[in-house]
Amino acid sequence: MNRIEGVILDWAGTAVDFGCFAPVNVFVDIFKNAGIEVTMDEARAPMGMLKIDHIRAMLSMPRVSALWEAKYGEAYQEQDVQRLYAEFEPALMASLSEYTDPIPGVIETVEALKSQGLKIGSTTGYTSNMMEVVVSNARQKGYSPDVYFTPDDTHSKGRPYPYMIYRNMEFLQLSASWKVVKVGDTVSDVKEGMNAGVWSVGVVIGSSEMGLSLEEFQALSESEREAAIAKAEQTFIRNGADFTIHTMSELPQLIENINGMLSEGKRPGMQP
C-alpha cells in the first residue's frame, strides 16, 4: 500500500533541547580556549554533523581558517582537530543531561503517530556515548522513539551520508525509501534525507537553524517571529527540503498530505 510507514526524527533541536543549545556553547568555548573567537552563527553552521566533522567544518571556514593561520603560523592540521575534539567531548558530556527536555508537542505527536501504526526511528550527530545520556534522560521525561542510530553505527559516516537512515529502515523493516519521512532542524538533516531518497522535512520552531531559546522566541513580536520562521523555512527549502513545518504538531497532517501525493504517484524530490 502506498502510505508512509515510518518517521525518522533527529534528536537535539527537533525532539529535545529547544534551540539545540547543548553543543553550541561548547564549540564556542573550545575555540576560545585555543585563542580563536568564533561567532554563534559559525558554531551553528555545520550543526547535525558528527561532532568531530563539525570541528573540521568550522576550521575550514575561510574566516576561522585565517584566524587560525594568523595565530599559529600555519593551516590547521588533523592533530589540531583531534586536540579540539578531545576537549569538546568531556565538556559536552558534563552538561548534556541538562539539555534533554522534549520540545513542546513532540511527545503528543509521537504518540499520535504510533497509534496510527507508524514506526518511529531516529538519527543524530551525537556519538553513542553521548546518546546514552540523552536517551535515558529523555525516556524519563516521556520521549522514546523505537530505535536510534549514531555515526558510531555507520563507521563514523554521519550526516549528510544516508547510512543512519538506512540502518533505521532495516531495523524497523520499512519497505521503501519513499514510504519514509525524515524530520530534522538543520541543513545536514535535510541533506541526509535527500541522500537517502526519503521525504525530507525541516522543522522550524526550536530548530538550530533558528537558533533561539524558547524564552527568546516567545519574547519576539509577531512580525519578528514571522521573519525568523520565514528565514529558516527558506534555508531548508533552498537546501532541498520537500517540506517545512513550524512545529512537530503539524507532522500528522503533513503525513496525510504525503499519503495523498503517494497515491498520485509522487515521490520525494518531486515538487508538489
Residue numbers in the known binding site for Mg(2+) are 10, 12, 185
Q: Are strands 119-122 and 180-184 parallel, antiparallel or unpaired?
A: unpaired
Indicate the annotated binding residues. 10, 12, 185
Instruction: Tell me the C-alpha distance between 75 and 264, whole Å.
Output: 53
Query: Please, where are the H alpha helices in 34-77?
Result: 40-44, 51-60, 62-72
Q: How far apart are the first and last CA of the chain?
A: 20
53 is catalytic: no
Candidates 17, 51, 53, 189; catalytic one: 51
Closest C-alpha to 48, from 103, 125, 136: 125
Q: Which long-range contacts (CB under 8 A, 24 or more apart) does 42-46 make?
A: 44/20, 44/208, 44/209, 44/211, 46/188
51 is catalytic: yes
Q: Are strands 199-203 and 243-245 parallel, antiparallel or unpaired?
A: parallel
| Ramachandran region, residue 206 (left: φ > 0; alpha: ψ -120 to 50; beta: rest) | left
| Nearby residues of 236 by Cβ (< 8 Å), 6 or more positions away | 187, 190, 202, 204, 209, 244
CB atoms within 10 A of CB 19: 24
Task: Let me know: does 204 contact 237? Beta carbons within 8 Å.
Answer: no
Which sequence positions are flagged as catalytic? 10, 51
